[in-house]
Homo-oligomer: A and B are copies of this chain.
Amino acid sequence: MNQSINNLRTKAGALSSGLYGKDFLLTWEKSLEDLGTILTVAEDLKLLRDQNISSRCFDSGLAISQFRDNSTRTRFSFASAANLLGLAVQDLDEGKSQIAHGETVRETSAMISFLSDIIGIRDDMFLGAGNAFMREVGTALDEAFADGVLPQRPGIINLQCDIDHPTQSMADLLHLKSVFGSLESLKGKKIAMTWAYSPSYGKPLSVPQGIIGLMTRLGMQVDLAFPEGYGLIPEVVELAGKQATEHGGNFRLVNSMEEAFTDADIVYPKSWAPFNVMQQRTKLLRNNDHPGLKGLEQECLANNARYKNWECTEEKMKLTKNGNALYLHCLPADISGVSCKEGEVAATVFERYRIPLYKQAGFKPYIIAAMILTNRFQNPADVLRNLEQRGRNRVL
C-alpha cells in the first residue's frame, strides 16, 4: 500500500457535478465550471497514475466504442481511458453486426447497452448527421432507461462529430493550462485558428469549430482565418462571436494566415474542407455517387492548390508574439517534405514543436477518463480521494 500522498488537486473541496449522467456532446453545452472539473479530474487521474496508484473504479463494466471513421489517437485514448478506470472496451463494428439489416438506431442502442456504462462515438463523415446521430442514440437510451429496459443509462461521449471534437479541444485546453500555468492566464492571450493547405480534401470541420467554440469562452482573442470559401458552419461561427463578447474576449474573422499569426500567443494551422463542399460531399456520400465524389475531390483539390501559401512556415512564425507562439495541431499533420510534398506546416516548425505537440496529444486519454468518471459518479472529488486513500498499486 502506498502512503496517502494527499496531493490531489481536488483536496481543496468538492468539484461541481453538473456533468453527472449527462452526455458530453458539445463543450458549449457545459458550464465553464464543469469544464474546469473535467480538467482537474484529468490532472488528478494523471497524478495518481504517475504515482502508480490504481484508478480502477469499476470492477467490471463495458465501454462501447463506435467508430464510423478511421482513428488511431482517439481509439487508443478511449481504450486507455476505459482501461484506466476498469472498463473493458467492446467495439461495435457495423460491418460485423446486423445493423445493415434495417435495424433502427433506437433498437441497436438498447441492445448494446444492457451491461454498458459508457458509449464513445466517432461520426464525422456526414455534415448534419454525426451530432444528430449521437442525440438519437441518447434519446433511445433515455427511453430505454425510463421504460425499465436498461438497468442504467450509459453515458455518451462525442469522440468527434460534424460539429465539435470535444475530447480534442479539451485536451488542447489542458495542454494550454499546463503550458501557461492556469486557465486565468489565458485571458487576453491571442490564439490563431487558421486554415492551412493540405493535399487531401474532406477533412472535418470539427477541430476548428471545437477550438473557436471553446477558446472564446476563456477571454481569449480568437482569430479565425481561412481563404474565401472555406467557411465553417455559420451557427458555430456566430456562437463563437457571442461567447467572446460574453466572456470579455474577442473573436475575428480574417482572410490571411499572416494577419491571424501577428502577435499570436498560440497558433493552430490546420486544413479543413469548406462547409459548402462538405454539404455537397454529404449528399454524394448518401447517394453512393462515386463519380460525383471523384469530381468533387478533383475540383476541391484544385481549389485547395490555389492556397498553397497557407503553410505555417518559419517566416510566418516570426510574426507571432516574440516569434515563438505555441504551435498546436490535433495530429497527424501534413508536414511539408515529410508526410507530403507541400502541406500544412514546414518541417522545421513542426519538428521544433514536436515534443509539446505529443504532450498535447497525451492529455487526451485523461480527458476522456475524466469525462467517463464525471458522467458516472456524482461526486468526482470523493472518488479521487477514495482512490488515493485505497492506494492500490496499478503495477504490483
**A-to-B contact residues, CB < 8 Å:** 46, 49-50, 54-62, 64, 67, 70-73, 75-77, 79-80, 83-86, 88-90, 92, 96-99, 101-104, 107-108, 110-112, 114-117, 144, 147-151, 331-332, 334, 338-340, 355, 358-359, 361-362, 364-365, 376-377, 383, 386-387, 392-396
Report A361 CB to chain B, min CB distance, Å.
6
Minimum distance in angstroms from A82 CB to a CB of chain B: 8
A115 contacts which chain B residues (CB < 8 A)?
A: 49, 80, 83-84, 365
Q: Residue on B with the closest CB to A99?
A: B72
Query: Cβ of A96 and Cβ of B116 under 8 Å apart?
Result: no
Q: Which residues of B contact A92 (CB under 8 A)?
A: 72, 76
Closest B residue to A147 by beta carbon equals B355
Complex: A359 Cα to B98 Cα, angstroms? 19
CA distance A396 to B377 in the complex (A): 9
**CB–CB A358/B83 < 8 A:** no
A62-B83, A115-B83, A339-B104 known; A148-B355 Cβ under 8 A: yes
The interface centre, meaning the residue of A46, A59, A90, A394 with most chain B CB atoms within 10 A of its CB, is A59
**Inter-subunit contact B149/A358 (CB<8 Å):** yes
Q: Which residue of B lies closest to A108 (CB)?
A: B72
Which of A98, A111, A144, A355 has the most B CB atoms < 10 Å from its CB? A111
Q: A72-B97, A338-B104 are in contact. Are A392 and B59 (CB under 8 A)?
A: yes
Residues of B within 8 A of A97 (CB): 70-72, 75
CB distance from A386 to the nearest CB of B (A): 6
Give every chain B residue within 8 A of A61 (Cβ-Cβ).
83, 394-395
- Distance of A76 Cα from B49 Cα, bound (Å): 28
CA distance A243 to B353 in the complex (A): 46
Please measure, in the bound complex, the distance between the C-alpha atom of A377 and the C-alpha atom of B115, giving whole angstroms: 23
In the bound complex, do residue A76 and residue B112 qualify as a contact, i.e. CB atoms below 8 Å apart?
A: yes
Is B396 within 8 A of A58, CB to CB? yes
Residues of B within 8 A of A387 (CB): 396
Which of B67, B114, B365 is within 8 Å of A114, CB to CB?
B365
A331-B111 in contact (CB<8A): yes
* A-B interface, 8 closest residue pairs, ranked by CB to CB distance from nearest: A102-B339, A80-B115, A57-B396, A72-B97, A54-B59, A103-B332, A149-B358, A79-B90
